Structure 1
């Protein structure tokens, strides 16, 4: 599990991963009153324990806004 504090857009190439999986998102408030968006990914059907929680990423407002800008610019999302 990790709290993402900064997202840097990096130029480069990549390849699509061969494994498909399911993810869930949830939103909660911490003691300070800040909202956190959490993404949990779950193992693919091919894993030893299918559907077991695999990764957790948490985003505070600043990192979430950085991700939003990257997604908006990449996919030309409209507000």
Structure 2
């Protein structure tokens, strides 16, 4: 569980993960501004009931950076 302070490009080999999970999102009002919170939940194969696996929070600046990364990765979305 963490607030993202910076994005940076990595260049190492990677492959698609075999497991899919659900991701919930919400806005959180703080004294410092709004945060976007993304929470992933365990896979359907998990033995226990659904619970949060990992949570990431982005402030306005990091959300804007993520939008640019998404546009760069998927140019057809930039229209």
Give the TM-score range, shorter chain: 0.7 to 0.9
| CA RMSD between the two structures | 1.4
Q: Which runs of 4+ in 1 moved over 3 A?
A: none
How far 1:13 moved relative to its partner?
2.7
What residue in structure 1 maps to residue 64 of structure 2? Answer: 65
What residue in structure 2 maps to residue 5 of structure 1? Answer: 5
Q: Distance in 1 between matches of 2:4 and 2:48?
A: 27
TM-score, normalised relative to structure 1? 0.87
Consecutive unaligned residues in structure 2, runs of 5 or more: none
How far 1:23 moved relative to its partner?
0.5
- Local SS of the residue matching 2:50: coil
User: Structure 1, residues 6-59: CA drift from partner, whole Å, max 9, x if none?
Assistant: 011222331000111100111121023x11000000001112324211100000
